[in-house]
Amino acid sequence: MTPSESYISIRNVGKKFGDFEAIESISMDIREGEFFSLLGASGCGKTTLLRMLAGFETPTRGDILIDGQQMNDVPPFERPVNMVFQSYAIFPHMNVRDNIGYGLRRLKLPRAKRNDMIDEMLELVQLQGYGDRRSDALSGGQRQRIALARALILKPKVLLLDEPLGALDKRLREQMQVELRRLQRSVGITFVFVTHDQEEALTLSDRIAVMSGGKVLQVDTPDGLYERPRTREVAGFIGSMNFIEGKVLSRVNGHATLGLSAFGEIQVDAKQIGFVEGEAVPLAIRPEKIELLKEPSEGAVPGSLELKSYHGERSYFQVRVDGCDDLVSVSTQNAGRAKLRALEEGAAVWLKWRDDAFIVLDKN
Amino acid sequence: MSDAVSTQGSIPPTQTERRNGLGRLIARSEVLRGYLMLSPAMIIMIIGVLMPFLILVAMSFWTRDGFDFDTTLTLTNYGRAIDEPIFGAFLARSFWVSGIATVATVLLCYPMAYYVAFHVHRNKMLWIIMMTLPFWTSYLLRVFAWKVILGYEGVINSSLLTAGVIEAPLEFLLYSQTAVIITLAHAWAAFAILPLYVSLEKIDRSLLEAAADLGDGPTKRFLRITLPLSLPGVISATFLIFIPTTGDYITPALLGGPDGAMIGNLIQLQFGAVNNWPMGATLSIILMLWIAAVALVFLFVTRKSKESLI
Ligand SMILES: Nc1ncnc2c1ncn2[C@@H]1O[C@H](COP(=O)(O)OP(=O)(O)O)[C@@H](O)[C@H]1O
Ligand SMILES: [Mg+2]
């Protein structure tokens, strides 16, 4: 990314709590107007990183720049960012209107102007007519919208959201995801969104940083992460995945032939990656990239069906292949596959794939 | 056979049913259960508070008749209380002294409670216990302790004399309103610290972060979040100190001198040396009505000022 494209620059940022290193050393750039997600399991340091952007924690090393401005010594109340807290932090002694208008007080606007802005926000988050409600008599979804409106009314350069949908039930969460996306598009503000839910991150984000143990493993677009995960950790975190060990048999003209023992041989592109003959290569393949057949076919690997599970739109099959310890997971679209779905557990099946469906992962 | 079984089976249940009739009624009725739990307290309240109070109200409309009471109902005492300036003066002084003591106590205790709630992270309870330690001794002892400190040859005077700061002992220290205010403020501090601490401790810290995030510096944050949210504590602390200190008579009797006497001393006199119980009852009722009025005004003012804060 060129420096001019980078709106938030995180440079070698680390954070220690006493002896405990919550963030090791993170460098990444976030673009202007982007919906950027931090994705990772609980405890991996997402909140800590977000709080450093907001100014509630100071990095023990490294620099944070927002819109070209060094942020390290800027206190939270002077940063051009606003945050939606995980607990929403709605002020209990104020009504909805006063909550949303909280940050406007300081700007000394005329009352009419302020009221107009609040009304506009109420409309944006679809809470028209709720202005005079007491804030302690609201549902989770409503509180969440107020927290959003309260932050957005100040037109921050960046909006930080810490698992804002985590406390909502599934249906409301899905509805809010759509709204959040619509909102971000319409206001055009850069969103930095924390979540541990990979599906949420994939559906909402322009780009995602996958985090683990205080480190960023990979920053990529949702389809980039899905189609080209670089490490086993990332590949396992996003969607389901079959992992297979390959061995370099030969290498000719930028192509390498890999032996996968029970799964035969595949040809992969080996232009950039330094394959050495005889070396082991970690490979991965998505369940839906494997074709499941009821009859033998040219190049197909035989196996037996151990388990099948029905997931509405798709079905998942666990297939045992001789000479392979792990079950191979295969998934197929259900529409028009009545015969496959009718397969009994224990039936003989055949697996087939295209060589380029395999993803070559980084070692270790 | 089946007959025997049915009779055997049917008798015991009816017995238990009858025995449990009342118990079941109690178990079923939420309201009844509530009253049952309240009843010990209610009995004590009726015998210990309501009855004496009613007697006091009745007596306030009686008059003294030598060593006896004239039980015809009249407003004579109330008329005297309004007409004779001494009663009004004592009442005003009581409100003044206890008002100052209350404000001083709340103002001094607020930072202490704030410090423990926000800046102490370990052994908070120990801190609170330490702060309320004076309360472990008797009230009278605390008053005497201040007498020792403030007295003519007391701790302050003798140390100032030895240090050469003053040449003669300061006389205004003891037997004055100042002495009463200082002693009341100290003696009742625990009643301020506890409610203040509880209300401050309860404040969700993320609210303060949210306020900072929305652009408020430390002072604004305190005024718009911490103070309004701790207001219930401030109000209870104020009432807990103001109400009992207004009618207090021990401290003014021991430390007040002529200038420091309060309405409580006057009431005590009526029940004691003057031996005019009906007048004492009248003064007590008037004091109570005034306290209620002041409390209502205070509640109204705090509510209004809270609205203007946020
Ligand atoms: N104030 C703190 N003091 C000590 N350790 C902390 C503090 N805040 C967070 N941590 C630790 O840092 C790690 C990362 O926490 P956090 O950023 O909250 O993770 P996440 O939001 O990804 O669940 C956790 O192990 C947590 O215990
Ligand atoms: Mg978190």
For B86-125, write each residue's pLDDT tens digit.
Answer: 999 999 999 999 999 999 999 999 999 999 999 999 999 8
- Residue A8 phi/psi, 5-degree rounding, is -115, 120
Mean pLDDT computed over every residue of chain A: 90
Higher-scoring residue by pLDDT: B1, B268: B268
Q: What is the pLDDT of residue A176?
A: 87
Look at B142 and A191; give whichever has higher pLDDT: A191
Q: Is pLDDT above 60 for B3?
A: no
What's the mean pLDDT in B198-218? 95
Cβ atoms A214, A22 nearer than 8 A: yes
Query: Residue A8 — very low, low, confident or very high, per pLDDT cuts 50/70/90?
Result: very high
The CA distance from A8 to A23, in Å, is 17
Task: Please check the confidence at residue B302 and state whether its pLDDT lies above 50.
Answer: yes
What ranges in chain B are assigned the alpha helix state H? 2-28, 30-45, 51-60, 76-83, 85-119, 124-131, 139-150, 155-163, 177-187, 189-201, 205-213, 218-221, 227-246, 250-251, 257-260, 263-271, 277-309
Does the pLDDT of residue A91 top 90, yes or no? yes
pLDDT band at residue B7, thresholds of 50, 70 and 90? very low
* Residue A86 reports pLDDT greater than 70: yes
Structural tokens at position A110: 């005329």
pLDDT tops 70 at residue B11 = no
CA A24 to ligand 1 centroid distance, Å: 13
Average pLDDT value for residue range A277-296? 90
Which residues neighbour A97 within 8 Å (Cβ) at sequence distance 6 or greater? A115, A118, A122, A131, A132
The pLDDT-based confidence of A272 (bands split at 50, 70, 90) is: low
| Beta-carbon separation of B306 and A93 below 8 A | yes
What's the pLDDT score for residue B265?
Answer: 92
Of residues A89, A84, A98, A96, the one with CA closest to residue A135 = A96
What ipTM is given for this predicted complex? 0.84
How far, in Å, CA of A178 to CA of A182, rounded?
Answer: 6
Residues paired with A350 in a beta bridge: A293, A302
Ion ligand 2: protein residues whose beta carbon lies under 5 Å:
A 47
DSSP A358: P
Going by pLDDT thresholds of 50, 70 and 90, the confidence category of residue B5 is very low
Distance A135 CA to ligand 1 centre (A): 29
Phi/psi zone of residue B229: left (φ > 0), alpha (ψ -120 to 50 degrees), beta?
alpha
What pLDDT sits at residue B2? 42
Interval A327-341 mean pLDDT: 85
Position B153 scores a pLDDT of: 79
- B167 by DSSP, 3-state: which? coil
Residue B8, token pair as written in the block? 């055997």
Contact at 8 Å (CB) between A8 and A64?
yes
pLDDT tens digit sequence for B228-246: 999 999 999 999 999 999 9
Interface test with B, best of A52, A79, A83 (most B CBs within 10 A): A83
For residue B55, report the distance from its CA to the centre of ligand 2, in Å.
63
Asked whether the whole model's pTM tops 0.90, one would answer no
| Token reading at A261 | 């023992």
Residue A100: name the closest of A84, A122, A116, A78 by CA. A122
> What are residue A190's phi and psi, to 5 degrees?
-70, 125
All structural domains of chain B, each given as residue ranges with its CATH number in brackets, are: 2-42 (no CATH), 86-309 (1.10.3720.10)
A18: left (phi over 0), alpha (psi -120 to 50) or beta: left
Answer whether residue A352 shows pLDDT above 70: yes
Cα(A17) to ligand 1 centroid in Å equals 8
For residue B229, the chain A residues in CB contact (below 8 A) are 92-93
Q: How high is the pLDDT of residue B71?
A: 87
Task: Set out the domains of chain A in order of their start, with CATH numbers.
Answer: 3-236 (3.40.50.300), 242-293+300-360 (2.40.50.140)
Quick one: what percent of chain B has pLDDT higher than 90? 55
DSSP-assigned letter for residue A90: -
Which of B207, B212, B220 faces A91 most closely, judged by CB atoms? Answer: B207
- Chain B interface disruption, residue of A51, A85, A104, most B CBs within 10 A: A85
Closest-CA residue to B230 (of B111, B126, B133, B98): B111
Q: Where are the alpha helices (DSSP H) in B66-138?
A: 76-83, 85-119, 124-131
Q: Is A214 in the pocket of ligand 1 (CB under 6 A)?
A: no
The pLDDT tens digits for A219-231 are 999 999 999 999 9
Mean pLDDT value across residues A267-294: 85
Task: Provide the pLDDT for residue B297.
Answer: 94
Work out the pLDDT band at B156, boundaries 50, 70, 90: confident
φ, ψ at B131 (rounded to 5°): -70, -30
Banded pLDDT at A2 (limits 50, 70, 90): low
What CA–CA distance (Å, rounded) separates A311 from A308?
Answer: 10
Confidence of residue A364 (pLDDT cuts 50, 70, 90): low
Quick check: B8 pLDDT over 60?
A: no
pLDDT level of residue A3 (50, 70, 90 thresholds) = low
Q: Given this model, what pLDDT does residue A33 score?
A: 94
Task: State if residue A44 touches ligand 1 by the CB under 6 angstroms criterion.
Answer: yes
Q: A143: alpha, beta or left, given left = phi > 0 and alpha = psi -120 to 50?
A: alpha
Residue whose token pair is 């079959």: A242
Contact residues for A312 (Cβ-Cβ < 8 A; gap 6+): A334
Q: Which amino acid is present at A338?
A: A
CB-based contacts of A156: which residues, under 8 Å, 6+ apart?
A80, A81, A82, A189
**Percent of chain A scored above 70 by pLDDT?**
98
User: Facing residues of A8 across strands?
Assistant: A30, A66
CB A126 within 8 A of CB A148: no
Q: Give tens-digit pLDDT for A119-157.
A: 999 998 889 999 999 988 898 889 999 999 999 999 999
Find out whether A358 and A266 touch, Cβ atoms under 8 Å. Answer: yes
- End-to-end CA, chain B: 81
Please report which confidence band the pLDDT of residue B18 belongs to, taking 50, 70 and 90 as the band edges: low
- H or E element that contains A227: helix A222-227
- Answer whether A232's CB lies under 8 Å from A284's CB: yes
Residues of A with CB under 8 A from a CB of B: 54, 56, 75-78, 81-83, 85, 87, 89, 91-94, 98, 102-103, 105-106, 150-151, 154
Residue B115 — φ and ψ, nearest 5°? -60, -50
- What are the pLDDT digits (tens) for A152-195? 999 999 999 999 998 888 888 888 899 899 989 998 999 999 99
State both tokens at A202.
Answer: 């994939």
CA distance B233 to A205: 45
Comparison of pLDDT for A34 and A108, the residue scoring more: A34
**Ligand number with the minimum distance to the CA of A44:** 1
Q: B14 pLDDT exceeds 60?
A: no
B217: nearest CA partner in chain A: A77
Two tokens at A23? 């963030």
Please state the φ and ψ torsions of residue A108, each to the nearest 5 degrees: 55, 45
